[in-house]
Structure formats: C-alpha cells, structure tokens
A and B are shown apart, each in its own frame.
Chain A
Amino acid sequence: MDRITLGVDTFGDVMVDEKGRPLGEAASLRHVLEEGIVADQTGLDVFAVGEHHRDDYAISAPETLLAGLATRTQGIHLSSAVTVLSSDDPVRVYQRFATVDALSDGRAEVILGRGSFTESFPLFGYSLEDYEVLFEEKLGMWIELMKEQPVTWSGSTRPGLQDAQVYPRTDHEGGIPTWIGVGGSPQSVVRAAAHGLPLMLAIIGGEPQRFAPYVDLFHRAADQLGVARQRVGMHSHGHIAATDEQALEEYWPAYRAHNARLGAERGWPAMTKEHFLQEVEHGALYVGSPRTVAEKMVRNIRALDVQRFDFIYTAGQNLPSLRRQSVELYGSQVVPMVREMLADSERSGEDTAS
C-alpha cells in the first residue's frame, strides 16, 4: 500500500477567547495561519481550508490564506476543502491556485465540491435552481484548464473560450492536483468517477463503514467507464487531548452549540449528549486521546480502504489553545501511531495489497 496521506482541515470557524468574547474574523484568520504553520512543523501531509460565506466561518477566500501559508511553510501541501466552484469562475480559481502553487513550490491542491451551504449563490448572483448545471459545467471547464493548454470551451453558465491560454502555468504534469468532495449522494460519486478525479468523502455523521459501498461504487463506475481507478480519501471531525475524558469535556460544549445552530437553520432538534457519545463511540467523530483517535482512524481507513484521511480539528467556537493542541497532538502523536499500526497490519499480512 502506498504511504497514506494524512492531513488536517478547518473551515476557519470564528473563535472566542477564554472568557467567551468573540475574537473576530481577522484574528480568527491569523490563528488559522499559525495552525497551518504548526501542522507543517509536525510533518503533516496536507493543510486544508474550507470556503464559506457566513458569520460563523472566517475563511471565504481559501487561496489567499493558502498564499500566506505558502511563504511560511516548507513541506505541507496546501488545499481548499472545498472550493465552491459552482459560484466562482473556474478560470480565476485556477489562476489563484496556480499562483499559490508557484509561491509554495508545487504544494497547491484543490478539492472541488458543491459545499453544504448555499450562501455563495445569492452573494455572487447565481440561482440555486442552477445548482446542478453550474457544478457540472464548471467542473468540465476545470478539467480542461488542468491540461494547461489553450482551452476551447463553451457552456451556458459562463462565456465560452476559444484557444485561450490561462496563466500562470504550473510545473505539475496534469495540472493542479484536484479532488472532488462529495457527501452522501450516490449520483455525485458516479459523476466524480466519470471525471477521473480522486474522491474525498465528507463523513460527518453516522457509521463510517456505511460508506464502504460508495467506495465500491466509485471504483466500479470507473471500471465501467473505462477510466483508471482513482484514490479515495475521507474527512471527519474530531478533537484530541491527553485523555479521552479531557477531549470529550473540551469538545462537547462548542460542538453542541455548533450543531444546534445548524439544526435551527435546517429544522432538526438539538443533539443530545447521548447521541454525541454515540457518534464518538461508533460514528463519525474522532474525539479522545491520541491512541483512541489513532485506533479509530485505522479501523475506518481499513474498513473503507481509503488512501487519505483529513482530520477536521474545529467545529464551532473551540478555544484557540485547544485547536492548536489538537493539531499538535494529531501531527506529533496520532499520525506516527496510525502509520505504525497500518504498517504492522501490512507486515502481519492482514493487508496484502501493494
């Protein structure tokens, strides 16, 4: 098995200080920058940031933040998670990531997705009714842009291009590494396979193993379409502390508030502590000591046979010190344990895939 890619991910949640006072968006962004530097120092593979346009998340322009990180980090790959391509211009997005790629000496990556929020549509003058066609068309255009050759393209959502060369070009063969992020929709999984791009599964609730058929679907769709099988990754939320008890205690209040806020918007009731503990025990949350989190990661990495795992270390108003602690423990303790456990199982022949 190839070395697994292990990263961290944040949506840049707006923070509060120890006294519960809001830190504001600008200060929250600076914290994310520092966390990215810590992630790099601990040797993580990827630092990924989301794009949102609402008051609980500070990051609306991932590539600008990543550009800042590009000049202050050495080895870590810098990704969006996800870029809401539907409500942006693929040419501009490509140019901005290509610039990050130049500044970081080839470390830029993109995850394209529909996102799970819709605020960007009215903000940029798009209609939600065009949700499907916007994503599909722009993704098609993106795939042309990845070739970094003169592009000829036409569609209904943007003026066409005739032999247009887009700059700057990168040194990547095949363009900026691009993944497609999906939630639980089988249609999206099949479409991702058809585009020949790797798949990032957002697993944010329920038993991760239930996504195994989706991984199977992704690969079988590729086979059926006669395109090469691509890698699959997953990202999920969590928090790490010295002990399980401490991690639960530190994480629950902010997570509860965060979940309650989303629920109030979408019409589901507040999460109970019991349900939360259930998610930690059997579901999609990775909350606990480094060993607990590492063991759970390994279980699900094996069950789903994924080649990448990104740990979302924020959910709501976690304190800056706790976010940093989570990134540090993930990079310095969880990741080495995960690699060790995966290598052990390979040696003992549990996993004979090469």
Chain B
Amino acid sequence: MSGDSAGSSAPIRTLGILGAGKVGTVLARRALEAGYEVLISGSGDPAAIALITSVLAPGARAVRPEEAAREADAVILALPLGRFRELPVEALRGTLVIDAMNHWWETDGASEELGGPAASTSELVQEHLAGARVVKALNHMGYHDLDERALPAGDPDRLAIAIAGAPDDADRAARLIDALGFDPLVIGDLRSGVRLQPFAGAFGAATDREGLARIIEEFPRTERGREVLAALEPAALEPAAGGNGSMDA
C-alpha cells in the first residue's frame, strides 16, 4: 500500500517480511497462524527461499523484496541491520515498517554508527526510508521465545513486546503484535527505541507487560542508559514541548 492514503487505522491484511532467516521464518509462521496473508523475501531471488518457506512457513508466498514492500499493508524488517541501505525506499513510502533489526557485530562487523552509544538504529532506518512510517518492535525478544511463547490475549503467562514510534503508527503495530500472540507495550517515540537495543536491560527480555515496563523505566538509571543518554543529543533529554510521555528517550 503506498501513498499517504494508507491512513493510520487501515487494517493490516497482508504482511511483508523482509528476511527469511531465523526471525523472518518464525514471524511468518506466527503471522500465518494469526490469519494474515504473508509475503516473505530474502535478499533477492525468491527461488532461493522457496523450499525454506514451504517447510518453515507453509502458506507464505516467497517474493522479491520490492514486491513484498510494494504489496504489503505493513512490513517487518528481519534482515541484518548492516544491510538496511539495500531496502527499497520507493516501495516502502507510506507503509508501516516494523524494524526488528539489531546491531550484531558478528554479522554486521564492529560499527560505531550502528553499535556505539549514540546509535539510535531505528532512526537511521527511518532516515533512509524517507516517507515510510517506521516503528521499532520485535527486536528485543530472541527468536526461540518469539516462536515458542506466543499466547492468546488474556493468558496470564503472556509475554510483552515493546514498541517505539509515533503514536498512530505504534498503535497499528500494537494491534499486529497482539494478533501475533504478545502483549504490546508502547513506550514512546522512535528514539525511545534505544531502550530496546543490545546492552539495554530490555534486550533479550521475555517477560510480561509490567516487568518489561519496569525494565524500560529503569534504563536511565543503568550504566548503559546513562552512557546512551549522554551520547544522544542533550536536547533529546528534555521532554518534548507538550510533554509527550516521560518514557521518550
């Protein structure tokens, strides 16, 4: 879906997943179970992931990244962060994009831009994807937990997934996360996504909504939190005019 006509309340029916690795295949399976139509892609030729898709996410359609980006109502980024500049900018204009990527130095190499304390990686992705509506979510939970521990709404053991992004986009993403089997927890603007990155307390967290909220609130008082907040522009530390949520980074 392209253009601003997307409207922030349009229901998501077709989900695109860019990346058909550990996380991409798990999320595809979850989404199919939740009743979405799923388009999944690797870096190029769909033939390369056809077998993987048919065994690990039967029912999903293997396509090129541009096609998934163009035809889906929302897109999840499940590729190595180091390759985000390959993402199709035009095809994603106006689309809700859920960034599940983390800097992982073993895959991406050591990088100050992506892994340093001042890195707010979803903002980098948003800068690249001009016109897309980027939120950060699904990045902080390991793929085992994403696979094994999805539960229906209301289950007392349900785990939470944090979402950082503009309110309307985050709300849309929240409905998707809920449908995938997790309690959504909207934590603030895109920059507050630094609270979900590697080395932050929430990274790797598989816990319920209260527990996750507590960990995320703790962030400024942790060593890493202080380092990150000091490295980010000082202006970002002041509450935005209008005081939008104390949880913004």
- Using a CB–CB cutoff of 8 Å, the interface residues on chain A facing chain B are 116-118, 128-129, 131, 184-187, 190, 205-207, 210, 213-214, 216-217, 220-221, 224, 263, 266-269
Contacts and interface: CB of A to CB of B under 8 A. Distances in A.
Interface stretch (B63-71, B140-148, B232-240): B140-148
Nearest to B202: A269
A151 to B, nearest CB: 28
A264 to B, nearest CB: 9
Interface of B: 20-22, 25, 42, 51-52, 55-56, 102, 104-107, 109, 142-145, 147-148, 197-201, 203-205
Contacts of B52: 186-187, 190, 217
B203 A269 contact: yes
- Residue of B106, B145, B148, B198 with most partner-chain A CB within 10 A: B106
Given A206-B148, A213-B56, A220-B55, A184 B106 contact: no
B117 to A, nearest CB: 12
Contact of A186 (B22, B107, B197, B198): B22
A207 B26 CA distance: 14
Nearest to A203: B144
B198 A268 contact: yes
Contact of A221 (B20, B51, B142): B51
Contacts of A214: 56
Nearest to A118: B106
Contacts of B109: 128-129
16 contacts: A128-B106, A186-B20, A187-B52, A190-B51, A216-B55, A217-B51, A217-B52, A217-B55, A217-B56, A220-B51, A220-B55, A266-B104, A267-B203, A267-B204, A268-B204, A269-B203
Contacts of A263: 204
Contacts of A205: 142, 144
B55 A269 contact: no
Contact of B55 (A185, A210, A213, A266): A213
A269 B205 contact: yes
B166 to A, nearest CB: 26
Contacts of B148: 206-207, 210
A249 B7 CA distance: 56
A186 B201 contact: no
A267 B25 CA distance: 23
Given A186-B25, A187-B52, A267-B199, 8 more contacts: A185-B22, A186-B21, A186-B56, A187-B21, A205-B144, A207-B148, A267-B198, A269-B203
Given A118-B106, A186-B22, A221-B51, A266 B144 contact: no
A201 to B, nearest CB: 13
B143 A184 contact: yes
A118 B20 CA distance: 23
A69 B109 CA distance: 37
A221 B203 CA distance: 34
B21 A269 contact: no
